[in-house]
Amino acid sequence: MLPKFHILIGLLFSIGCYTIFSFVSLIGAGLIFLSSVLIDFDHYIYYIFKKKSFSLKKAYNWFKKKGKQFSKIPKNKRKSYALNFSFFHGLEWVFIFSLFGKLFNNYFYFIAIGIFLHLVLDWIHSYHTMGRFFKISIIFDYFNNKNLKKIQLNFGRNKV
């Protein structure tokens, strides 16, 4: 899912939480919003290691091209391919931040909510575009990706 959709839905969701639930402070709503968007930082880290570049603009364009190329694969065949590993995309982080909320500070609960929102949006998107769910568990994805085909997407001369 493109960042603009995570930003829009995260913003609307956090405003809704702030408006509807009296226990959600402005800081809590801000944490929900930021964590629902910044979880995608792992994609940028992947790009840095893969392409040896720190350009955020180039990373964004690279992932957009990669997504367009991937969408050319017939939908019924997409589920047998592995995409890049996303370290921050897993329920493990929701559990960790929930535990931190219980042990340290309630603000961690808001971070867990934002991460969970992001994951739900990614699950819907992945099922719609790939016909399967992934990014549910970091551990599951790590081992499952080993059993899937590795794709080499071609963008002219550069192979991904």
**Which helix (H) or strand (E) segment is 159 a member of?**
strand 158-159
Mean pLDDT, the chain, whole residue set = 87
Q: What is the pLDDT of residue 136?
A: 81
Q: What percent of the chain has pLDDT over 70?
A: 89
pLDDT band for position 150 (cuts 50, 70, 90): low
Q: Computed from CA positions of residues 7, 126, 121, 115, in that sequence, does the dihedral angle turn out positive or negative?
A: negative
Identify the CA nearest to 28 among candidates 49, 13, 6: 13
Q: What is the pLDDT of residues 81-134, one digit of tens each?
A: 767 778 899 999 999 999 999 999 999 999 999 999 999 999 998 888 877 777
The yes-or-no verdict on residue 80 having pLDDT over 70 is yes
Q: What is the DSSP letter of 121?
A: H
What pTM, to 2 d.p., does this model score? 0.85
**Which helix (H) or strand (E) segment is 15 a member of?**
helix 3-20
Task: Give bridge partners of residue 158 from the DSSP assignment.
Answer: 155
Poorest-pLDDT segment among 1-10, 38-47, 75-84 = 75-84
Q: What is the pLDDT of residue 115?
A: 98
Q: What is the pLDDT of residues 37-61, one digit of tens each?
A: 999 999 999 899 989 999 999 999 9
